[in-house]
Amino acid sequence: MENSNYLELDANIGLNCISKNCLVIHPSETYMMYAIGSLIIVKAVSDDKDQYLRGHTGIINCLAVSSQGNLLASGEAHDFSSEEAAALIVWDFNSLQILFRVRYHKQMIQSLSFSCDEAYLVTVGGARDGNQLVIWNMREGKSEAFMPSSDQ
């Protein structure tokens, strides 16, 4: 997803994960993905050319890659005083294009996990929405079920 309003990046230095869930290894073990602010870096092991995924407005605090490697999901967090809902973005890993972008969780998404067959994605929100657990249908990009999870 290229936008001429962005500066062209040649390289990046650093990693500013705010959680342990913002660095993932692709199942092929030939790529790693990590977050720097609202940007996702896709780094190939075989070369020095990084690819950048843009689409978030808040700081990305969790990433998940599906077990088959076809899907990548990213969730963001906003400052607790923000009224903006946190974005969940699901990417087609092969094309690095956005498949779905939804804003459901209030303030943050704290965890993501795909089902083994890539049919579903589970997200967990933050304290502001009662740590709500949502199951997303990946074929349609819609929620299937939601419930509050434990506050502990």
Q: What 3 state SS string does the chain have?
A: CCCCCCCCCCCCCCCCCCCCCCEEECCCCCEEEEEECCEEEEEECCCCCEEEEECCCCEEEEEEECCCCCEEEEEEECCCCCCCEEEEEEEECCCCEEEEEEEEEECEEEEEEECCCCCEEEEEECHHHCCEEEEEECCCCEEEEEEECCCC
pLDDT exceeds cutoff 80 at 132: yes
What is 23-148's CATH number?
2.130.10.10
Per-residue pLDDT tens over the stretch 15-35: 666 667 889 999 999 999 999
pLDDT at residue 48, rounded to an integer: 75
Per-residue pLDDT tens over the stretch 91-119: 999 999 999 999 988 889 999 999 999 99
Give the mean pLDDT of the chain: 87
Q: Per-domain residue ranges for the chain?
A: 23-148
Between these two residues, 76 and 128, which has the higher pLDDT value? 76
